[in-house]
Structure 1
Amino acid sequence: MYVSHLQLVDYRSYAAARLELAPGVTTFVGSNGQGKTNLLEAIGYAATLSSHRVSTDAPLVRRGAERAVVRAASFADERRSLIEIEINPGRANRARLNRSVLPRVRDVLGTLRTVLFAPEDLALVKGDPGERRKYLDELLTLRAPRFAAVRADYERVLKQRNALLKTAAQVSGRARPDLSTLDVWDGHLAETGAALVAGRLGLVAELRPLVAKAYAQLADSGGFPELRYRDSSVAEAPESTEAVGDQGDTDVTAIAQRLRDALDRARPEELRRGVSLVGPHRDDLLLSLDEFAVKGYASQGESWSYGLSLKLSAFELLRADGEDPVLILDDVFSELDAARRQRLAQHVRDAEQVLVSAAVPEDLPSDLRGERYQVSEGTVEHV
């Protein structure tokens, strides 16, 4: 798979931009703040409907404009697809695929598949659990777009349940709240949450050997990485090291029952606090190196190698499905020492399409010298 064409309208710093791309390596070189990352971010957005830099769409629209448009044409197995996304902050976004309007924006997911690694992704290793949940869920959706509906259903149920719990918490001091409706939402949360947890558990099992292999190739020292999924329904205390689900248990019915039992146990505390304390929104992907938690233990170099291993494993998993995803490396090489730069370049150079950004050409390993664009003050020129 590769992106052959990118067009932007009022996206970030670009009032208008148009690029023709080809398979192989393409690099975007320019000083910081000139717009390199905006181009790569737009391609990633066309694939995942999210940005690796911000959590909302408003910053994606050029200042003074009402909307932004991203158009990306891709080829997979000699089939051309044209994705068009209209970004409307504060209103519903719209999407078209091959000029046809889609009933839901999420229906575009799976058409273009990308794996993007950027300095912000170090948060996968050092950041909050939400970063790791996003990593799992986006990869799940790229592999099986039906999980977009699963995630949307779960988020809807969680929002409704939290609203009910908040109301119950406010009235509990004055009168006994009617909890019959909460029982119904418990069932919905267990059903939708179980499907998401099962998908995550299966994904972690597939990723585990790939991460170990990638880390061994990237790191300049020993160390064995391990991934485990922490399931908030297993123990009442999320901080407990025992709060880890059965790594082989992907039976949706069993997980749903476990969630219902956990919700029953957590109900008094949830009513007191007015928020849902159990479910996949509270789970985590535990990362360890030689049985020590990576967060707070690993060095900077080990953390970078671990983060890269997670993304390269996602690439290998998508590749195993039958076609290479587009690999995007946004300003990564400036953060790596010479040895890691070379190892990473050797690892990715045979991908069908690699898009790379760098502040200076010297940051790029010799194995990744392909087509080059110079980016300066919002203009993009082939050199």
Structure 2
Amino acid sequence: MYLNHLLLQNFRNYAYQDVSFIAPKTILVGDNAQGKSNLLEAVEWLASLRSHRTSRDRDLIQQNTDYSHISAGIQRDSGPLDLSVTLRQTGRRSLMVNSERVRRNVDFLGHLNAVEFSCLDMELVRGSPGERRDWLDRVLIQLEPIYAHLLQQYQKVLRQRNAFLKQSVPHPPEASQLALWNQQLAIAGTRLMRRRHRLIQRLTPIAQHWHHCLSQGCEILGIHYQSHVPIQLDTTEAILESFYEQFQRRAIAEQHQGTSLVGPHRDDVSLEINQTPARQYGSQGQQRTLVLALKLAELHLIEEVIGEAPLLLLDDVLAELDLHRQNQLLATIEHRFQTIITTTHLGNFTAPWLDAAQLLTVRSGKIVEYTDTRTG
């Protein structure tokens, strides 16, 4: 797939900007806080209806305006495609595919696929379990758009069960009502956990391959999905039964805390280097290698599943990588993935890369053609 153009209105610090992408590789050059990351965020939002920088739509709307608009023209193997979205301060969204309104998120998702790699992704190693769960969810939404609906269903049931537990404190919750909420949470949770587990199973060997290349064969990567509920069980019925057993074990704790302590909202992903937890391994270089391997694996898995290469969005990450990892990443990209890269300078790129790329300057929410100011 190929992103031909992107139009932004009242999006972050862009009042109005129309960008045409005329080369497979586009480099956005500019100082910090000029809007480079905002453009990548707009592409990410069209791909997943989510941002890894905020959970609130209104944060994307320019100050003192009522709405924000993003539209894009895409070329896929099946033909051209137009996507557009309007976000409003009221919280309402309008989604359109080829000028036709779609009412469900699932009908919008899947038309554009993109993988973003930014310095914030280091939180996959250093951050809380929630960071890793969000990462799994973002990947699954692109691989299987219906997952967004399943995730929304689970979160709704979770909120309702938590409200029921909270209102019961300090007394034991009413048994028949609790059994009903247990059943609904277990069914919705099992759908999520099985998909997350399958994703880890498919992603791990690809990530291990890239990690082996990036570490020059010196390190072994381990990735494991961690859950209170065993999801390696053969059948859905067995997983549900294990869910109910965990509810019984945590019943007193849930009663006292007034919140749900069992389910995919409590799960984690274990990342290990040479059988040692990666967050405790110490070396920032090794942690960056791990995250880069995960992102390359994500990129290749999406291509394998959807049958087309997704867009690659690199948000000022080359400066964070040593020369070996830079070269490995740039060699992997080559002409296979349309790539949009942000940077504060062009020193990390070779002459052939620069000759083949579209160079744009970003300054105060304005994008213009890059002008080489070097002399001599």
TM superposition score category, shorter chain reference: over 0.9
Q: Does 1:155 align with 2:151?
A: no
Q: How does 1:172-183 map to 2 (within 5 A)?
A: 172=171, 177-183=173-179
Distance verdict in 2 for CA 1:151–1:352, change over 3 Å: same
Q: Does 1:275 align with 2:262?
A: no
Contact 2:97–2:108 under 8 Å retained in 1: yes
Match of 1:379 among 344, 347, 366: 366
The alpha-carbon deviation at position 309 of structure 1 amounts to 0.8
What's 2:219 paired with? 223
Q: How does 1:86-105 map to 2 (within 5 A)?
A: 86-105=86-105
What's 1:284 paired with? 268
Residue identity (%): 31
The alpha-carbon deviation at position 23 of structure 1 amounts to 5.0
SS across alignment from 1:71: strand
Q: Does 1:319 align with 2:319?
A: no
The alpha-carbon deviation at position 136 of structure 1 amounts to 1.0
CA distance in 2, matches of 1:195, 1:292: 30
The alpha-carbon deviation at position 301 of structure 1 amounts to 0.4
CA distance in 2, matches of 1:264, 1:344: 48
The alpha-carbon deviation at position 105 of structure 1 amounts to 3.1
1:326-381 superposed Cα distances (whole Å, 9 cap, x missing partner): 01111011111222111111112232301111001113345642111111122111
CA distance in 1, matches of 2:351, 2:212: 22
Segment drifting more, 213-222 vs 109-118 = 213-222
Q: Does 1:310 align with 2:306?
A: no
Q: Does 1:257 align with 2:241?
A: yes
What's 1:16 paired with? 16
Distance verdict in 2 for CA 1:366–1:130, change over 3 Å: farther
Q: Flag structure 2 segments of 5+ consecutive residues without an equivalent.
A: 371-376
CA distance in 2, matches of 1:367, 1:41: 28
Distance verdict in 2 for CA 1:286–1:59, change over 3 Å: same
SS across alignment from 1:361: coil
Provide the aligned C-alpha RMSD in A.
1.6
What's 2:322 paired with? 337
CA distance in 2, matches of 1:333, 1:29: 13
Contact 1:225–1:290 under 8 Å retained in 2: yes
Contact 2:69–2:84 under 8 Å retained in 1: yes
Aligned-partner residue type, residue 229 of structure 1 = Y
TM-score by length of 2: 0.94
What's 2:116 paired with? 116
The alpha-carbon deviation at position 221 of structure 1 amounts to 6.4
1:141-166 superposed Cα distances (whole Å, 9 cap, x missing partner): 11111111111110110010000011
The alpha-carbon deviation at position 194 of structure 1 amounts to 0.4
CA distance in 1, matches of 2:350, 2:208: 24
Match of 2:280 among 278, 288, 296: 296
Q: Kindly report structure 1 stretches of 4+ aligned residues shifted beyond 6 Å.
A: none
Q: How does 1:49-60 map to 2 (within 5 A)?
A: 49-60=49-60
Contact 1:374–1:380 under 8 Å retained in 2: yes
SS across alignment from 1:110: coil
The alpha-carbon deviation at position 56 of structure 1 amounts to 2.1
CA distance in 2, matches of 1:327, 1:232: 34
CA distance in 2, matches of 1:157, 1:378: 41
SS across alignment from 1:8: strand
SS across alignment from 1:53: coil
SS across alignment from 1:50: coil
The alpha-carbon deviation at position 99 of structure 1 amounts to 1.0
Aligned-partner residue type, residue 336 of structure 2 = A
Segment drifting more, 250-259 vs 261-270 = 250-259
Contact 2:173–2:255 under 8 Å retained in 1: no
CA distance in 1, matches of 2:260, 2:352: 50
Segment drifting more, 356-365 vs 224-233 = 356-365
Q: Flag structure 1 segments of 5+ consecutive residues without an equivalent.
A: 235-244
CA distance in 2, matches of 1:141, 1:367: 35
Contact 2:211–2:221 under 8 Å retained in 1: yes
Q: Does 1:350 align with 2:335?
A: yes
How many residue pairs get aligned? The number is 367
Q: How does 1:121-270 map to 2 (within 5 A)?
A: 121-170=121-170, 172=171, 177-220=173-216, 222-234=218-230, 245-246=231-232, 249=233, 251-270=235-254
CA distance in 1, matches of 2:55, 2:311: 22
CA distance in 2, matches of 1:346, 1:156: 44
Distance verdict in 2 for CA 1:89–1:226, change over 3 Å: farther
CA distance in 2, matches of 1:63, 1:220: 48
Distance verdict in 2 for CA 1:99–1:280, change over 3 Å: same
Distance verdict in 2 for CA 1:23–1:79, change over 3 Å: farther
CA distance in 2, matches of 1:218, 1:365: 20
TM-score by length of 1: 0.92
CA distance in 1, matches of 2:181, 2:154: 11
